[in-house]
Amino acid sequence: MLHKEFVPETSENLPKNGKVTWQSPSNIALVKYWGKKENQIPANPSVSFTLSNCHSTTSFQYQRTESATLEFDFYFEGVKKDDFKPKIQKFFERIRDYSPYLQSYKLEIHSENSFPHSSGIASSASGMSALALCVMSLEKAIFPAMSLEYFNRKASFLARLGSGSASRSIEGPLVEWGKHADFEESSDLFGINYPHELHEVFKTYKDTILLVDKGQKTVSSTLGHDLMHGNPFAEARFKQANSNLAKLIPILQSGDLPAFIEIVESEALSLHAVMLSSIPYFILMKPNTLEIIQRIWEFRRETGVPVCFTLDAGANVHVLYPQHSENEVLELIKNELVAYCENGHYICDEIGSGARRIDNG
């Protein structure tokens, strides 16, 4: 199905060449997206904190050609990477109807991440959102009257076609993606800035990512999403995510941290529970993931410090806590949790405000 609002008019006004660079962050979901329908439509809505320090920087040089077929070269950290091209090619094919002007260009794309490539941190959210933003900057050069609202909305729409969670990496500090009755403007097609009141405590929230396993994931998220189709608990899981999203609204407004913790941790464990119950079943957590979870629970019981965890589709643990608990939590991490991290590595991050263009454009 073609979404007409994102199909541009034809234009003769194609710039000859240019270059644009975007820095786009990763995000961490509080209510998880896992399971999708055709064309990257999520099976349930989700909401995430936009991160700040974990980001991709992508520059995009465009040169008009006469060939009428998009050509591109891709460089990762300065090295030409032909093995990354099929994924990007697929993205360009998916967005073809929405960005037809790309067919008139040859592109040189350079990308790098602020986090180590082999850190087990998925770069698809930051990488695909950065690329979508570069495409939108070219579109804006063709249609200069475009509003900022449309720019961001379409960037999220395009990013979603690259990787679902990338739709939540354009803006910040919180982004909701997927149709939900309590979010009037929400859509399965793009993420929206969290529209409800947000308590001060969440505006400076911290996320320290403990790198338990830096290896490549054994099951890709594409396959993981797909396995939800035969999962006996799928419908219950989608219902739970919808209900958790509704429950979060008053919690995010009041700053009720115990209630926040319960939903966030339950979401992480439910995500992994549906992995355990897929056919074929799989486990992405490692023994050290569980050691860390146990230790966080003990610490919280002993000290009352409102620290909690969440997980992505991997073994790494995101430790979430308010800024006012930073000293205690960093002590816990340095004194104890670091022992469960591969080579003692972890990344300190915090809630961020979204992507930014960094080439003075």
HEC letters along 171-219: ECCEEEECCECCECCCCCCCEEECCCCCCHHHHCCEEEEECCCCCCCCC
Residues found in the chain: 361
Q: Which range, of 27-35, 106-114, 146-154, 259-267, touches ligand PMV by CB under 6 A?
A: 27-35
Torsion on CA atoms 100, 102, 103, 106, rounded to nearest 10: 180
Number of residues forming the site for ligand PMV (CB under 6 A): 15
Reduce the DSSP state of residue 108 to 3 states and report it: strand
Nearer to ligand PMV, 220 or 303 (CB): 220
Among 23, 26, 34, 111, binds ligand PMV (CB under 6 A): 34
Strand partners, 317: 210, 311
Q: Is 242 in the site for ligand PMV (CB under 6 A)?
A: no
DSSP structural state of residue 25:
E
Q: Is 340 in the site for ligand PMV (CB under 6 A)?
A: no
Among 21, 22, 26, 33, binds ligand PMV (CB under 6 A): 33
Site for ligand PMV in 278-337 (CB under 6 A): 312-313
How far apart, in Å, are the Cα atoms of 263 and each of 115, 243, 320, 360? 28, 10, 13, 41
Q: Are residues 75 and 56 in contact, defined by beta-carbon separation less than 8 angstroms?
A: no
Nearest-angstrom CA–CA distance, 304 and 300: 5
Site for ligand PMV in 215-234 (CB under 6 A): 221, 225
Least Å from the CB of residue 282 to ligand PMV: 13
Nearer to ligand PMV, 34 or 194 (CB): 34
Nearer to ligand PMV, 219 or 330 (CB): 219
Nearer to ligand PMV, 47 or 296 (CB): 47
Least Å from the CB of residue 48 to ligand PMV: 6
Q: Is 115 in the site for ligand PMV (CB under 6 A)?
A: no
Site for ligand PMV in 122-181 (CB under 6 A): 122, 124, 163-165
Nearer to ligand PMV, 122 or 332 (CB): 122
Joined together, the tokens standing for residue 257 give 């941290």
Q: Which of 100, 160, 172, 110 is nearest to 132 (CA)?
A: 160
Q: Which residues bind ligand PMV (CB under 6 A)?
A: 29, 32-34, 46, 122, 124, 163-165, 221, 225, 271, 312-313
